[in-house]
Amino acid sequence: MESHGKTETVIRGVAASRGIAHGQAFLYLQSELEIPRYTVEPARRAAEIERFDQALVTTRQQIAKIQLEVSTNLSEAEALIFDAHQMVLEDQALISETIREFENSGLNIETCFNAIAQRYISAFAEIDDEYLRERAADIKDVTRRLLHVLLGQTARQLTELVEKRIIVAHEISPSESAGIDRSAALGIVTDSGSRTSHAVIVARSMKIPSVVGARSLTAVVEDGDWLIVDGYEGLVILHPTEETLARYRIIQTEKSSFESRLMAAIELPPETADGVHVTLRANIEKADEVGLVQQYHADGVGLYRTEFLFLNATTLPTEEEQYADYRAIAEGLAPATVTIRTLDIGGDKPLPSNPELIGPEANPFLGFRAIRLCLEHPEMFKDQLRAILRASAHGKVEVMYPMISGPLELEAVNRLLGEAKADLRARQLAFDEKIRVGTMIEIPSAALAADLLAPHCQFFSIGTNDLIQYLLAIDRGNDRIAHLYDPAHPAVLRVLKQVIDAAHRQRLKVSVCGEMAGDALFAPLLIGLGVDELSMSPPLLPAVKFVIRAMKFSDAEKLATDALAQTDSRKTQEMILAFHHRHMAEG
């Protein structure tokens, strides 16, 4: 028994990269950097700034080298991760604030840079959006690397891993993960992190099983301990017994066979067994994800989040800068449709280029965000609308508004769109005069007034994440009540059905772009309720497509009818789970 008499311990984390690994732990713990603090004499201050400038150059060179290695060993898509790192090092706000801090305090440049960088890290770490929150890891990684250069130290690398082991760490930075030898790493487990961390992106690319958020593991594991990493269920089993090992050998065989079946179906049409086509589209954040959309055979983009452009810029992006980005996506995916959501930013997503634009709020989720911000800054908003309109001349583009609460807001936004069209006509610039307009349904008032919104747009896209959160008054980030977030709640299903029926009565298509859409458990229910399109993160497409092809549309309709009649969400979940297991097995 490989547990050597130690008690088997199961630690639950978050499944990040699918697969099962069994092996010994390689405990990777980074020591905390000790940053000296001292006053720089006035006569040496120019030299101190020069030292900072040289460290920036050296760090850029180091990252460029890592980027080249990743591009060679993995792919250009993974190498693009480090564009964000170079952007941090070229961020004039970060650099100028560091120098200003140095000039005001006279303290050594390491102390000043670290103080400013920590403010940025804290700001991003508090953002509600998981993808954007993980960008704090980019700044943290670059900060650590630059401080090592300033201090004349060499950062520890994961290249020490030379034999097959499971990496166990508190966290792994993007540049550290780039140094992982795929032939030596059996699995990756971290105490912190999320599914969108760059370390996880690299792990998926390498097809290394990974679990993140296994909070206490580094405190209890020792180097060389045996463990199992279950990247399907998000479990880490420390000191597994022979019985557990035997069970996982069977699971691994079954999962490998199932994964092969999923990928074999990815090129087939998303059509139910009784011939009903369901449009499956992708959610993306950046233009460089076009290749991912194509790789997973998505039918275009159902949600392009434009926030990344704004949150990774030292100044507000101009119309031209936005146009170049939107055009690249539209051309890259033509003739497939690309739905571009206008700026959804607010108190929970601070703008580094202009923090005063929003300012602190007691309750940012109910505050000055998204369309409310855009309506108060119409010129900034029209820059984005003109950029989207111009991109529509290069592919099939739709525009979609977030956080609409009622018809008056939608009418006001459409007036601004009309003004943006008039501006482009005056400048004799091409755009699609018949560009389709959609509104997100994510506020309860919009859901209840769906019939009033329908005459002012051509489609609805239901953002289930926020809609459920607002409907049930659940802060998903609050660990004490997160379990109450329930997509199977009777109120949620009734509201979804009401929105879908209101749209169809006025011949509007309905898409879902929230987490429910990419969940193979809930996708059949949404289809049965009448949803026309599902949009999700590209890697989720194979499982959703597989279950669609395995089921009949009539069975999905019956599931939805039975679920709507149910008053106990636990029983609804049991029905959904049974439906899923039955059709996945049959498929």
For 380, residues 6+ apart whose C-beta sits below 8 A from its C-beta are: 316, 374
Q: Please state, in angstroms and rounded to a whole number, the distance separating the CA atoms of residues 268 and 297.
A: 9
Instruction: Clarify whether 374 is annotated catalytic.
Output: no
Q: Is 98 exposed, middle or buried (0-12, 13-18, 19+ CB in 10 A)?
A: buried
| Omega prior to 524 cis, within 30 of 0 | no
The closest of 568, 350, 363, 373 to 475, measured between CA atoms, is 363
Backbone dihedral region for residue 315 (phi beyond 0: left; psi -120 to 50: alpha; all else: beta): beta
Q: Enter the DSSP assignment of 187.
A: E
Tokens of 572: 């609804």
User: From the candidates 239, 513, 580, 583, which is the catalytic residue?
Assistant: 513
Instruction: Clarify whether 198 is annotated catalytic.
Output: yes
For 385, residues 6+ apart whose C-beta sits below 8 A from its C-beta are: 342, 399, 416, 417, 420
**E strands, 327-410, in order:** 337-341, 396-401
Q: Please state, in angstroms and rounded to a whole number, the distance separating the CA atoms of residues 557 and 573.
A: 16
Q: Please state, in angstroms and rounded to a whole number, the distance separating the CA atoms of residues 461 and 442.
A: 9
For 587, other C-beta atoms within 10 Å of its C-beta total 16
Q: Please state, in angstroms and rounded to a whole number, the distance separating the CA atoms of residues 108 and 575.
A: 63
Q: Please state, in angstroms and rounded to a whole number, the distance separating the CA atoms of residues 562 and 309.
A: 43
User: From the candidates 198, 239, 394, 583, which is the catalytic residue?
Assistant: 198
For 408, other C-beta atoms within 10 Å of its C-beta total 10
Residue position matching structure tokens 């497409």: 541
Q: Yes or no: say if 156 and 30 are a contact pair by the CB < 8 Å rule.
A: yes
Q: Is 123 exposed, middle or buried (0-12, 13-18, 19+ CB in 10 A)?
A: middle
Q: Yes or no: say if 234 and 14 are a contact pair by the CB < 8 Å rule.
A: yes
Q: Please state, in angstroms and rounded to a whole number, the distance separating the CA atoms of residues 545 and 411.
A: 36
The closest of 438, 130, 413, 457 to 301, measured between CA atoms, is 438
Phi, psi (rounded to 5 degrees) for 318: -80, 170
Q: Yes or no: say if 351 and 415 are a contact pair by the CB < 8 Å rule.
A: no
Tokens of 495: 């509201």
Phi, psi (rounded to 5 degrees) for 569: -65, -25
Tokens of 114: 């670290």
**Residues 530-569: b if buried by 16+ CB within 10 A, e if exposed:** bbbbbbbbbbbbbbbbbbbbbbebebbbebbebbbebeeb
Tokens of 508: 């509007």
Residues designated as active site:
198, 513
